[in-house]
Amino acid sequence: MKTQVAALALLASLGLAGCQSHSSAELTPPPCLAQCQAQKFAVVSQSFVEDLWRHAPTWALYSGFYDYADQLVIPDGDSRSRDAKFVARWRSRLAPFQQVEMTAAARIDLALITNVLDKMEWENTRFKSWQWNPANYNVAGPFARLMNEPYAPLETRLKAVLGRMEGVPEYYRVARENIDNPTLEHTELALLQNRGALSVFSDAMLDQAMGSGLSDADKMLFQERFYVTKQAIQSHIGWLETLVAQLRQGTPRSFRIGETLYEEKFALDIQAGMTARQLYEKALADRDQAQKQMITITQQLWPKYFPGRGMPMDDLEAVRELVDHLSARHVKRQEFVSEVRKQIPELVQFVNETQLVTLDPTKPLVVRETPAYMRGFAGASISAPGPYDKQANTYYNVTPLDGMTDEQAESYLREYNHWILQILNIHEAIPGHYTQLVYSNESPSLVKSLFGNGAMVEGWAVYAERVMLEQGYGGFEPELWLMYWKWNLRVITNTILDYEIQVKGISREQALTHMVDGAFQQQEEAEQKWRRATLSQVQLTSYYAGFREIYDLREAQKARLGADFDLQRFHETFLSYGSSPVKYIRQLMQ
C-alpha cells in the first residue's frame, strides 16, 4: 500500500512539474461535449420553467405549482407586451444551445421549450383569438381547482382564492375591451360556460370561508370580494347575452380560420413532421381501409342477426343497417355516468392480467359529472394533475344527459352503445389518457411532462383502444371489433372533417353527411361534432396523427427486434418520455 501511495505521489509531482513547464494555452480545460452541454442546458431549462410560472401563474396552477395561485393575470395590452419580452428574453438565453452538440434528450427539451415560445408569440400576434374568441375569458376553472384540490390546508387555499378574486372585475372589464368582431359560435360558448361559472361561486364556498380559520378581517374581505366577483360574472353574462343577440341579427365573423393559419397552427400544435394537407391525404386513404374492415365483419355477422335475409347490394348500406341494429343495446340514460364508473375496475383487471403496462394503484381516478363551467364542448374528458401535484385526483369528466330531449338522448346512447362505451372508457381512462398522464408526471424530464404534445396524448389514447382489442379484451367478439372500426373511422373522419371545415369551407350539411353516411355516426353525435369543429381548430386531427405515428413506431420496433420485442417494455419505455411529440420519442427509442 505504501509503495502504491509513494508511486502515486511521484506521478503527481511529475505531472505538476510538467504542467508548470508547459505554455498557458495548454491549461485550457477540455471542450464541453454533448453530455456537458446537456448538463448546462438542464440548469437553464429549470430557470425557464421557474420564470414561466412567475409569468403565467394560471398555467402554473394547472400544472400543480401553486406558489403564485393568488395571482390573476389581467389579459390587457400590458400582459401581451410582457409576453413579447418573455419570448425575446428566453430566445436570447437559449440561442447558444442551438449551436452546440447536446444529448438527444436535451435537444428535444430545447425543441419543446422553443415551441412554447413560438406558440406564445403566434397566439398573440398572428392568431389573436384574444380578440375574436370570448370563450377565452372565464375565471371559474382555477377557483374550482383551488377549492377542490387539497394541496394545502383550507386556509392557505382560501387565501389564494381571496387574492385571486381581487382582480376579477378588472379581468372581465378588460375582456370586454379586447373582444372585437367575435364569432357567434365562440360567443355562445362563452355565455354557456360563464353561466356555469356561477356554480363555482356558490353558498358552499362562502360557508367554507366563514367557517374556516381565516382571521375575522380576512373573512369580511372574503365575503366582500365573493359578492363583487359574482356580480362581475353576472354583469359579463348580461353583456354576452346582448352580444349574442346582436350577432344573431347581423353577419358575424366566420369561425373558419383558412389554410394559412390552419397550417401554422397545425405545425405548432401537432409537431408531426408533415403538413396538415399531407395528414389529410393519409386520412382519406385510411378511411377507405376502415370501411373495408367494417364490410368484412358485416358479411360475417349478417346471418346471425338477419337469418334468411340477403345483404343489401350496397355494402355501406349493409354496414349501416347492422350498426344501427346493434346500437339499440345501450344503458339507460339515467345510468350513463354510473355505468362508466362501474367499468373502470374491469379495465384495470384486464390490463393487470395481460401485463400491457404497469398501473399505479396509488394514483386516484375519480369519475364525476362534468362541472357546469366545463360543459358545451366535449361529452367526456380527463382533468389530470401536473407533475408538481402527482398524488392529486385525476378526474374523468362525464356529462350526464339531463339537458337532452328523449330523442337526443336516445341518439347519443346509440352512439355510445354497449360496445363503444367500453372503447370510450379505454380511451379516456384505462390504459388511455389517465394511464399515460400518470406516466408523464413521472418523466425524469420536467419539460417533457409539462409541455405535452396533444397528438401524442390523444394518439396514445387511440392506440390504447387498438392494443386492448388485439390482446383479447372482449374475447375477440366480432361485434366489438365492428364497433371499434366504427370508432376508428370516426377518428379518421375527425381529421378529414376538421381540415375540410376550416380550410375548404364545407357546409354543415356536407359535414353531417361525412359523419352520418360515411362514418355511420348517430345524428346527435354528428351534431355535437359539428359544434366542436366550429369551436376548435386542428385539435380534432391530433387523435389520428398521434395514433398513426405510435402504431407505426411499434410495428417498426417489432420488425427491428423480432423475438426480442416485448410489448410491455415497449409501452413503458414509450410512456417514460413524458408527453413528447412522437417523432422525438422515436429518436430516443432508436
Tell me, what's the pLDDT at 27?
A: 59
Q: Looking at residues 313-334, what average pLDDT do you find?
A: 95
For residue 475, give the 3-state DSSP assignment: coil
C-alpha grid cell, residue 120: 406564445
pLDDT score recorded for residue 373: 77
Average pLDDT over the chain, rounded to whole?
A: 92
Residues composing the chain: 590
Calculate what percentage of the chain has a pLDDT beyond 90: 83
CA dist 276 and 270 (Å) reads 9
* Single-letter amino acid, residue 13: S
Q: What's the CA gap between 567 and 564, in Å, rounded?
A: 10
Q: What is the pLDDT of residues 248-265, one digit of tens each?
A: 999 999 999 999 999 999
The neighbour count for residue 360, using CB atoms within 10 Å, is 11
Share of the chain above pLDDT 70, in %: 95
pLDDT for residue 23: 45
Q: Has residue 13 got a pLDDT over 60?
A: no
3-class secondary structure, 582? helix
Print the SS3 string covering 482-512.
HHHHHHHHHHHHHHHHHHHHHHHCCCHHHHH
Helix axes 315-326, 276-305, angle to 10 degrees: 70
Q: What is d(CA 133, CA 28) in angstroms, rounded to the nearest whole number?
A: 57
Q: What tens digit of pLDDT does each residue of 530-562 get?
A: 999 999 999 999 999 999 999 999 999 999 999
Peptide bond just before 96 cis, omega within 30 deg: no
Question: What single DSSP character describes residue 369?
Answer: E
Q: What's the pLDDT at 16?
A: 35
Residue 7 pLDDT more than 90?
no
Q: Is 385 left (phi over 0), alpha (psi -120 to 50) or beta?
A: beta
- Number of helices and strands in the chain (H, E): 27, 3
Q: How far does CA 282 lie from the centroid of its chain?
A: 23
| pLDDT at 144 (0 to 100) | 95
Region 66-75 average pLDDT: 98
pLDDT of res. 29? 63
Q: Output the pLDDT for position 388.
A: 87
CB 160 within 8 A of CB 142: no
pLDDT digits (tens, 9 = 90+) for 325-382: 999 999 999 999 999 999 999 999 999 999 999 999 998 899 999 988 777 766 888 8
Nearest in space to 477 (alpha carbons), one of 300, 351, 345: 300
Task: With beta carbons less than 8 A apart as the criterion, state whether 580 and 448 touch.
Answer: yes
Cβ neighbors of 580 (< 8 A, separation 6 or more) are 108, 112, 448, 453, 456, 588
pLDDT value, residue 217: 98
464, 435 in Cβ contact below 8 A? yes
**Where do the H-state alpha helices sit in 250-310?**
258-270, 276-305
525: confidence class by pLDDT, cuts 50, 70, 90: confident
- Please state, in angstroms and rounded to a whole number, the distance separating the CA atoms of residues 387 and 62: 10
pLDDT reported for residue 522 = 84
Total-model pTM: 0.85
Hey, what's the cell of 576? 417514460
Give me the mean pLDDT over the 104-111 stretch: 93
- Residue 192 clears pLDDT 60, i.e. is over it: yes
Beta-bridge partner residues of 381 = 397
pLDDT bin (cut points 50, 70, 90) of residue 145 is: very high
Check if the beta carbon of residue 388 is closer than 8 Å to that of residue 65.
yes
Could you tell me whether strands 365-369 and 394-398 are parallel, antiparallel, or unpaired per DSSP bridges?
parallel
d(CA 516, CA 511): 9
Residue 215 has pLDDT above 60, yes or no: yes
- Please give, one letter per residue, the 3-state secondary structure of 541-574: HHHHHHHHHHHHHHHHHHHHHHHHCCHHHHHHHH
**pLDDT tens-digit readout, 17-63:** 334 444 444 556 677 889 999 999 999 999 999 999 999 999 999 99
What dihedral do alpha carbons 508, 513, 519, 524 form, nearest 10°? 60
User: In Å, how far are 117, 142, 226 from 200, measured between CA atoms?
Assistant: 32, 10, 11
pLDDT value of residue 184: 98
C-alpha–C-alpha distance, residues 431 and 468, integer Å: 8
What are the residue ranges spanned by the domains of the chain? 34-127, 140-249, 269-589
Query: Which residue carries 414561466 as its cell?
Result: 52
* pLDDT score of 339: 95
Is pLDDT at 314 greater than 70 in this prediction? yes
Could you count the other beta carbons within 10 Å of the beta carbon of residue 310? 9
- CA-to-CA dists, residue 221 to 147, 157, 161, 164, 212, angstroms: 17, 15, 11, 12, 14
- Considering only residues 371 and 161, tell me which one the structure prediction assigns the higher pLDDT: 161
Average of per-residue pLDDT across 293-306: 97
Q: Is 128 left (phi over 0), alpha (psi -120 to 50) or beta?
A: left
Q: What is the mean pLDDT of residues 455-474?
A: 97
Looking at residues 438-460, what average pLDDT do you find? 92
Check residue 379 and give its pLDDT. Answer: 80
**Mean pLDDT confidence for 276-295:** 95
Q: Is the pLDDT of residue 172 over 50?
A: yes
Nearest to 479 by CA among 257, 290, 375, 329: 329
Indicate if the pLDDT at residue 293 is higher than 90. Answer: yes
**What one-letter code names the amino acid at 41?**
F
DSSP notation for 38-62? HHHHHHHHHHHHHHHHHH-HHHHHH
Instruction: Give the strand pairing for 394-398 and 380-383.
Output: antiparallel
